[in-house]
Amino acid sequence: MFARKVSMTLKHNTAKDFTRKMDTDVIPLLRKQDGFQDEIMLTAKDGKHAVGISLWDNRENAEAYQRDSYPQVLKLIGELTDGAPQVESYEVSNSTFHKILTPAHN
């Protein structure tokens, strides 16, 4: 399993609108992507920062999303974010939500 972490700064007083946009536009788009498993969205209590963690079957699915659909997501959230989101990628080693066999256990 593979994960993408997207960190972003939200514009002033947009946290509720951002959450709504994720629910109505971004998550439905993610669900259509090959290999998409889950999205976890975290918003700071002060409403200034958000972190999204998406889980994918494999790196190839995540990279295809990054290349083909992520630009559309940036347009959808662009009016609510300040600056470019920072994207990091990870191999998932453990999860309590998903049964995962790490490479050491395969």
Q: How many domains does the chain have?
A: 1
pTM: 0.86
Task: Tell which residue, 73, 66, 85, has the closest CA to residue 11.
Answer: 85
**pLDDT for residue 24:** 96
Query: In which domain, by residue range, is 63 found?
Result: 2-105
Rounded Cα gap, residues 106 and 91, in angstroms: 14
Residue type, 10: L
**pLDDT for residue 106:** 45
**pLDDT for residue 103:** 52
- Per-residue pLDDT reduced to its tens digit, 63-97: 999 999 999 999 999 999 999 999 999 999 888 77
* pLDDT over threshold 50, residue 105: no
Q: Where are the alpha helices (DSSP H) in the chain?
A: 15-21, 27-31, 59-68, 70-77
Share above pLDDT 90 across residues of the chain, in percent, rounded to a whole number: 86
Rounded Cα gap, residues 99 and 106, in angstroms: 13
CATH, residue 68: 3.30.70.100
Mean of pLDDT over the chain:
91
Strand segments, DSSP code E, in the chain are: 2-9, 36-43, 49-56, 86-91
